[in-house]
Amino acid sequence: MFQWKRVKSAAEWGFFLGILSWLLSTGVSNKIPTAGVWAIILSRTLSGVVIGAIQWNESWWVRGLVIGGAVNLPLAMLVVRWPHFNYANGFWPVIVTGMICGLIIEMVLRRKHYLEKIGEDKKT
């Protein structure tokens, strides 16, 4: 059964982590255009939606790393084309922070699911 609560929670965490990623990236370069800010926030939010929606029987940490990196790959390739970034300074940080955000989202969702199961067990 598709769990809308999981997707909603993952999207919210992705949005929150996207804002944090943007704030941290302004410490590296404060020349990020408005479109870049929205790209960072929305790519992390999309990572959360994909993590919440896809049913994949794999370890939680593998799932978070792979989906986080894959969803943020288009943004990383876009960063290469921005005039004030070059390949070494933009591509890998976007991929790595996307993977870290995916890992955090999946970790939070697994923990939340575990706590809900414990609450259900106590009721019975």
pLDDT of 52 higher than 50: yes
Judged on CB neighbours under 10 Å (0-12, 13-18, 19+), 30 is exposed
Q: How far, in Å, CA of 103 to CA of 61, rounded?
A: 6
Q: Which of 107, 106, 77, 112 is nearest to 94 (CA)?
A: 77
Q: Please write the tens of the pLDDT for every residue from 35-44.
A: 888 888 999 9
Q: Name the CA radius of gyration of the chain, rounded.
A: 16
- Supply the pLDDT for residue 1: 41
- Nearest alpha-carbon partner for 3 in 53, 64, 59, 58: 53
For residue range 59-82, list pLDDT tens digits in order.
889 999 999 999 999 988 888 877
Q: Quick check: 120 pLDDT over 70?
A: no
Residue 33: predicted pLDDT: 77
Q: What is the mean pLDDT of residues 24-30?
A: 78
